[in-house]
Structure 1
């Protein structure tokens, strides 16, 4: 199952594992929600009465809009110029048609752009007439690409087998009708400004230290460390390495793709502040909440 938005640094592949290590609570605050993979999984888990998703970007707000049906009928495939003109104001264009979903760089190379746009529009245009025009354009652009780049036709077809923008759109459409939306509050703002209910558990997924932070470049890790020592509700943190004065409570290895092709293994870890370790294990031993018709969490696999 796919969780959340297609998003750089998404916790999609390990969301069930993360949620499995969060204690049940009346409220979960996904305080740096990113693509909302953990939010999505938590809503399905039945472990939380309510989920608050917050991010400094508009991703949490967009996640809720998508789940409410805002993407229904969406099929615009932008050119490079249209992408750069709209990416900061249109979350759909920014996420669907950016490289690695970073909302900065256009998805396709200049050489393949005309071919992939024509192929995508051939599949998404609303009328038969428009689809036929896109087909003719696709044939012309593919022929031009093969000739100008000296690419064998078989290799060209191989490069066209994936239309990432449409794959991501299909993923967003799969979020429509998400259950338990009445239990979701979406916010946009600084994590330190989020109102924290007294009965909440916090999940924090900051930009990992000493890694490329993408759209979160400039994140102040020292400020985050200071906040961890003063925040009152139980807080579980995702990181590769331990933040200062924190204790590891879980780890797992996952395989990730670099640039969509090469793979590498990384070890994801979960931590809690040292002064909350006993509280964490006590809460984990308490069991689940008595929610109305809770659903079991989806199983996770290495």
Structure 2
């Protein structure tokens, strides 16, 4: 994957198919619609949408805020400073998890800084 296409990797989800998304696109047949049933981090949807093989790409995830986050990032329509979240300590993460309302910004923070991207436990153990 070329540097200019790294954005297609989507959100950092466990099991992310970012390394193989272009090869996946090559073996799938062209058509009107591609449905990414287990959308996760969005790399398959992002790569498919930019490939031109389908008229429509449908991304699906069980969390509505994940869908809205991905959409806002694609459309460059987010209303928060991504650079604010380059580093987050355990206490701040726990505060976001326990006290912040569900939103696309909260979903981004919890996805990026949680262990296994499960939005519950802080990325690093207490000894690290």
1:67 Cα deviation after fit: 1.8
1:91 aligned residue: 107
Give distance in 2, aligned partners of 1:85 and 1:59: 19
Match of 1:73 among 76, 81, 91: 81
Match of 1:19 among 20, 25, 48: 25
2:69 aligned residue: 62
Residue 102 and residue 71 in structure 1: after superposition, are their counterparts in 2 closer, same or farther (change >3 A)?
farther
| Higher RCO (C-alpha under 8 Å, 6+ residues apart) | 1
1:127-166 paired onto structure 2 within 5 Å: none
1:231 aligned residue: none
Residue 67 and residue 87 in structure 1: after superposition, are their counterparts in 2 closer, same or farther (change >3 A)?
farther
Give distance in 2, aligned partners of 1:105 and 1:54: 24
3-state SS, counterpart of residue 12 of structure 1? coil
3-state SS, counterpart of residue 13 of structure 1? coil
TM-score by length of structure 1 reads: 0.34
1:107-146 paired onto structure 2 within 5 Å: 107-112=123-128
Superposed structure 1 runs of 4+ greater than 4 Å apart? none
1:16 Cα deviation after fit: 1.0
Give distance in 2, aligned partners of 1:107 and 1:27: 36
Structure 2 unpaired stretches of 5+:
none
Give distance in 1, aligned partners of 2:79 and 2:12: 14
More strand by share: 1
Give distance in 2, aligned partners of 1:42 and 1:56: 20
More helix by share: 2
- For the 8 Å contact 1:35–1:60, the answer to whether it is kept is no
TM-score by length of structure 2 reads: 0.74
- For the 8 Å contact 1:8–1:101, the answer to whether it is kept is yes
Structure 1 unpaired stretches of 5+:
113-302
The reply to whether residue 49 of structure 1 matches residue 59 of structure 2 is: no
